[in-house]
């Protein structure tokens, strides 16, 4: 266990990331409702928590890597975050996206001067194309979730939750590749071992739940959900190690429950959340928080008005 733990992100790593990302990422609001407090990462400059990890990663690159530029692969929000972080730091950014990427996210990348390349429909399709482009163009790869700098950046959200709601007892976090929950759990358990951290996955993309059951990262054959940001086929090796070490439970929610959470956030809190962003709230609405001291992360709000209207009409 000691060898495994030595590879895990520490609170000191996350505190250093918090200083590094100031000026690009913002300290987002914690909004109280009668049911659950909401950590509003939809308030970030590109609309999602991903900016935290992207800035932390790019800020640590040496000058020669900055001069050459960076590349990543993303269903949307991580790509937008890397493009924005690169723009702020004066770097070139290339983003490999799925052919099925929501238009609002593609346009977001382009609005931050990012170059978009389309490749297939799965994370593995995107990764293979990005690796080939990185080699050909001498670009630095910015992993979407499975890297200590990305995890530490995401963990800054956890530090903020503890500061903003000192009486918190449970934190619900959506799970895609696992970077957000890995970082938040490392931050929270490093400071407050008594606070429970619950991961929430779409039922059609429950790769972390399957991996927990198997005791090692498992690759699903396919994933499907309205939560397009939570569809990797497999968790990262490093993110899985963090989940095993720090996360109390993983639960799943249906697409109907996710859609209902999007509507609840709009009606009860005036928050526009994309389906991935509402997934943690879906678990709280279904299962009920044991006390008024639970927090759910709204991981992102990048959804077109048309798609949001369709979700509200479900």
- What whole-number distance in Å separates Cα of residue 161 and Cα of residue 180? 13
The pLDDT mean for the chain works out to 94
**74, 75, 211, 299: which is the annotated catalytic residue?**
299
Query: Are 69 and 193 members of one domain?
Result: no
pLDDT digits (tens, 9 = 90+) for 273-303: 999 999 999 999 999 865 679 999 999 998 8
Which of 141, 160, 182 represents a domain boundary (last residue)? 141
161 and 294 inside one domain = yes
Q: Are residues 137 and 282 in the same domain?
A: no
Q: Clarify whether residues 301 and 199 are in a common domain.
A: yes
Residues 85 and 195 in one domain: no
- Model confidence at 306, in pLDDT bands (50, 70, 90)? confident
Q: What is the pTM of this model?
A: 0.94
pLDDT one-digit tens code per residue, 13-32: 999 999 999 999 999 999 99
**pLDDT tens track for 174-194:** 999 999 999 999 999 999 999
Is residue 122 located within the same domain as residue 181? no
Q: What is the pLDDT of residue 5?
A: 41
Q: Is-catalytic flag, 74?
A: no
Residues 6+ apart with CB under 8 A from 221: 233
* Options 50, 105, 165, 207, the catalytic residue: 50
Q: In the structure, what pLDDT confidence band is assigned to residue 70 with cuts at 50, 70 and 90?
A: very high
CB distance 279 to 261 below 8 Å:
yes
Domain count, the chain: 2
Note whether 283 and 275 are within 8 A (CB): no
Q: Which range marks the domain in which residue 270 is found? A: 2-48+147-312
Write the CATH number for 303.
3.40.50.1100
* End residue of a domain, out of 72, 106, 141: 141
Cα separation, 206 vs 216, whole angstroms: 14
Query: What is the share, in percent, of the chain residues with pLDDT greater than 90?
Result: 84
Domain end marker among 118, 141, 164: 141
Does 50 participate in catalysis according to the annotation? yes
């Amino acid at each position: 266990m000691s060898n495994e733990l030595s590879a895990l992100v520490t609170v000191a790593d996350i505190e250093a990331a918090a200083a590094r990302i100031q000026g690009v990422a913002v300290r987002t609001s914690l909004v109280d409702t009668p049911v659950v407090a909401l950590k509003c990462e939809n308030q970030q400059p590109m609309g999602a928590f991903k900016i935290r990890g992207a800035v932390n990663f790019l800020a640590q690159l040496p000058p020669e890597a900055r001069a050459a530029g960076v590349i990543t692969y993303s269903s949307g929000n991580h790509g937008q975050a890397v493009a924005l972080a690169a723009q702020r730091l004066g770097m070139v950014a290339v983003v490999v996206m799925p052919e099925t990427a929501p238009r609002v996210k593609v346009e977001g990348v382009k609005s931050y001067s990012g170059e978009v390349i389309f490749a297939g429909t799965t994370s593995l399709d995107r990764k293979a194309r990005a690796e080939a482009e990185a080699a050909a163009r001498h670009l630095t790869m910015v992993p979407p979730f499975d890297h200590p700098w990305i995890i530490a950046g995401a963990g800054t959200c956890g530090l903020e939750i503890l500061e903003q709601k000192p009486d918190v007892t449970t934190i619900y976090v959506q799970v895609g590749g696992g970077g957000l929950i890995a970082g938040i759990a490392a931050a929270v358990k490093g400071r407050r071992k008594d606070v429970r951290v619950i991961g929430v996955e779409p039922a059609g993309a429950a790769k972390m739940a399957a991996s927990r059951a198997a005791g090692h990262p498992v690759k699903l054959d396919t994933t499907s959900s309205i939560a397009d940001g939570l569809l990797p086929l497999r968790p990262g090796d490093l993110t899985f190690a963090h989940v095993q070490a720090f996360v109390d439970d993983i639960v799943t929610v249906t697409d109907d429950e996710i859609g209902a959470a999007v509507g609840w956030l709009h009606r009860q809190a005036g928050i526009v959340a994309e389906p991935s962003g509402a997934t943690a709230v879906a678990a709280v609405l279904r299962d009920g928080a044991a006390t008024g001291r639970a927090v759910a992360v709204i991981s992102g709000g990048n959804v077109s008005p048309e798609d949001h209207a369709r979700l509200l009409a479900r």
